Amino acid sequence: MRSLFSTAVLSVASATIMDEVEFSFIQFIAKYGRNYSSRTEFNERLANFKFINDEIIRHNSESSTTTHGHNKFSDMSRSEYRQMLGLKDIPVPEPNGNTYASNKTKAPASVNWVTAGYVNAIKDQGQCNSGWAFAATAANESSYAINHGKSALYNLSEQ
């Protein structure tokens, strides 16, 4: 009895001469020890792999700061990947009236939140060495004030 891996290789090879992506998929199967239960599942996984491969190529051609590549999730469909992460489709709430979209006005090109009065004064962290806490607190203070009005600009504790 032949292994499913050899069956997969033979089915791809017998259909046509393998292209580069199909060869990468066979390497993926070997690297991650995949076993597919049928030729149909193999073809679905190959289609998922090709889709991800196209996304990787597109991203890598557009970005000079990051490089994407295949990993153990490259044969999953989008819905399988989202389910594995525990992501759920949550309905987007209606705008609450504080957004530019709900006011039907065009958003400005830029906003200086300091001069607009939505940022607290700079705080001295002393020798605390936890600037991340001060930065996170300041971001939350400003975000809350932007969404609830200037009168809601609170001075929260970094502790």
Domain at 72, CATH number:
1.10.287.2250
The verdict on 81 and 112 lying in the same domain is no
The angle that helices 39-62 and 20-32 make with each other, rounded to 10 degrees, is: 110
Shared domain for 141 and 79, answered yes or no, is no
Three-class SS state of 18: coil
- Report if residue 91 sits inside a domain: no
111 and 73 share one domain: no
SS3 53: helix
- Which has more pLDDT, 130 or 28? 28
pLDDT tens across 80-113, in order? 988 888 877 777 777 665 555 555 677 788 989 8
Q: Do 65 and 111 have their domain in common?
A: no
Which of 85, 117, 133 is the C-terminal boundary of a domain? Answer: 85
Q: How confident is the model at residue 1 (pLDDT cuts 50, 70, 90)?
A: very low
User: How far does CA 104 lie from the centroid of its chain?
Assistant: 30
Looking at residue 106, the DSSP 8-state letter turns out to be P
Say yes or no: 9 and 43 in one domain. yes
Query: CA 148, CA 152: separation in Å to the nearest integer?
Result: 6
Is 99 among the domain residues?
A: no
Q: What is the pLDDT of residue 24?
A: 95
Q: What is the pLDDT of residue 37?
A: 94
Tell whether 37 is covered by a domain.
Answer: yes
Q: Which domain holds residue 57?
A: 4-85
Assign 48 a pLDDT band (cuts: 50, 70, 90): very high
Overall domain count for the chain: 2
Q: Which of 11, 15, 9, 41 is nearest to 28 (CA)?
A: 9
78 and 115 housed in the same domain? no
